[in-house]
Amino acid sequence: MTSFVGGRGDVLISYGNEAITAERSGQAVDYVVPDATILIENPIAVVKSSHNPAQAQAFVGSLRGPDGQREWANAGYRPVLKDVAQEFSSTFPTPSRLFTIGDLGGWPAVDKQFFDRDNGIVSQILAGGSR
């Protein structure tokens, strides 16, 4: 995004939160939410070696609740709770075909299809081949 708003490039494919952040910071960006796009699911977990597991779990719980989801939405991330998503529907319009990695067969299938070192789509593109 930094290179793009700095004048290098005509089109950028990126996460929506990056465009929202750039726009909110005064950058002149024009972005389009495609009709079909994947829902980016940011994981969060408490690690076993946490020195404060109860506080860490409370923090995770707060992020998943309505107030935490509002904070995420205010930071430019699509909320996952329906009521909060409705509050931010003008910022995060729902694409007609919003899908998840599970709809594509899950990470093991996607990893093999796209990122396999020998036969993945990305490997073939980087090698200059076509599919």
Q: Cα separation of 5 and 17, whole Å? A: 15
Residue 130 has pLDDT above 60, yes or no: no
Residue 129 has pLDDT above 80, yes or no: no
Which carries the bigger pLDDT value, residue 52 or residue 12? 52
Q: Assign 3-state DSSP to the chain and report helix, strand, coil percentages, each to 5.
A: 45, 5, 50
pTM (two decimals): 0.69
From residue 90, alpha-carbon distances to 77, 78, 98, 113 in Å are 13, 11, 16, 35
Q: How many other β-carbons are positioned within 10 Å of the β-carbon of residue 45? A: 9
From residue 64, alpha-carbon distances to 27, 30, 84, 121 in Å are 30, 30, 11, 34
Mean pLDDT to the nearest integer, 9-15: 83
Q: What is the pLDDT of residues 32-57, one digit of tens each?
A: 888 998 888 888 899 999 999 999 99
Mean pLDDT to the nearest integer, 94-102: 90
Residue 63 tokens read as: 């992020």
Which residue is it, tokens 């939405």? 73
* Residue extents of the structural domains in the chain: 1-32, 35-99, 103-131
Q: Cα separation of 85 and 91, whole Å? A: 9
Provide the pLDDT for residue 5.
80
